[in-house]
Amino acid sequence: MLVRTTLDPFQGWNGSHAGNLSITVGSNSVTEGSNTTDNVVTAYTFFYVTDNPTKIVCSSRTAGNKDGSDCTLSKTIAYNKETFDSDFFGGCIGDADMMGIYLPQPSNSNVCKNDVITLTRGWNWQYSYDGVNWSNFPSNYQAKRAISFTMATLGGYEGKTHLYIKTGYNTTFTDFIIYDIIPCPPGLIETPVVTSTTCVNNNDGKVVFTYDRDLDLAKNERFVFTFFKQPGDIVVATPDLSIDNVNRKLNFSGLAPGNYSIKYQTFISNQPTSTNPAPDPSFTIPSATAVTFQVTEIQPACFNEKGKIKLTASGGTGIYFYKIDSDPEVQFTSPTGEINVSYGQHSIKVRDTNSCIDLSANE
């Protein structure tokens, strides 16, 4: 338990010439007399609660006030040393903040260097790798009830198997807690490389990720993925995957157009490595531009001459091809061209390099 008392200056207690503030937790007590200076006085008292009290008893009083308006205040607070966080008592001559100092063993003790560890109910903090050579956390973590950090921020974790942490006040600490250091999954680096679908109605988009370390194939390390369709983090089936371990590439194919994010980890045999805290990264599979074409009729200049059509194609990918009736397919020499045709109705089909066609009309 850490008790912080803040005593008001002499002028703050309305002319009284005596007073006290008392906090009792089982067999431990903190008692402060009145502050006779002109400045606020703050003090800290740290003690171990070795018995099993069920309450904190707070009291404060003044005496000798000239107008007879002496102060008497008290408060009783329910207490369990394993669950108590904090409470406050406003007394006659000052205030008290009561802070439980206690670190329960983590329910999930597996952490990798990039996992965020959040701890509460502390004040001053120390850590050690494998229980050797305790070190203070950096100064920006000290005198804090709650801290969040990663081993990557602390450094020194290479080749270590356990992270020990303890908290307390000044140089007096509680028992320590222990985390098991496990590998992080390979990090995904660079911007995902996406390929649009080949045609408007196709679900054959692709994405390629690059990861930052080799898989431990000797230990049977393998990737496990969850794919989310956005918005809404809707879980969808994991698309087809191929892994290029030489170039550290993950190749996913068979994706419909849309926005996605992924959550991933690796397993070493049956042991999962650390899991990313949220779906990440995100990417978008673009849809191909629709193939369209327009036909403009050009009437013959004379009787019994062939007419012409002006055929204009757009959208899609690459080179265009057209086919009239059952004639052989012909490659466009440019997106727009004039073609001789006989009198009558004709069937016209236009496709692009990916064999995408205009679905709106073809006659």
Q: What is the pLDDT of residue 66?
A: 66
Single out the residue of 100, 166, 92 nearest to residue 128, CA to CA. 166
Q: Which residues contact 89 (CB under 8 A, 6 or more apart)?
A: 23, 58, 60, 75, 77, 95, 96, 98
Q: Which residues contact 35 (CB under 8 A, 6 or more apart)?
A: 7, 8, 9, 10, 41, 93, 94
Structure tokens at 75: 């408060």
φ/ψ of 151, rounded to 5, equals -65, -30
In this prediction the pTM is 0.67
- The verdict on whether omega for the bond into residue 328 sits within 30 degrees of 0, i.e. cis, is no
Fold category of 188-285 in CATH: Immunoglobulin-like (2.60.40)
Q: What is the pLDDT of residue 137?
A: 98
Show the beta-strand stretches assigned E in 64-146. 72-78, 86-90, 94-99, 110-111, 117-119, 124-129, 132-136
> What residue spans define the domains of the chain?
2-99, 110-181, 188-285, 292-351
Q: What is the C-alpha to C-alpha distance for residues 271 and 142, in angstroms, rounded to an integer?
A: 34
pLDDT tens string for the chain (363 positions)?
A: 999 999 988 765 555 668 899 999 999 999 999 888 889 999 999 999 999 999 999 999 988 776 667 889 999 999 999 999 999 999 999 999 999 999 999 988 999 998 999 999 999 999 999 999 999 999 999 999 999 999 999 999 999 999 999 999 999 999 999 999 988 889 888 899 999 999 998 999 999 999 999 988 888 889 999 999 999 999 999 999 999 999 999 999 999 999 999 998 899 888 888 876 666 789 999 999 999 999 988 877 777 777 888 999 999 988 999 999 999 999 988 888 888 888 888 899 999 999 999 876 544
How many angstroms from the chain centroid is the CA of residue 236? 20
Contact at 8 Å (CB) between 10 and 40? no
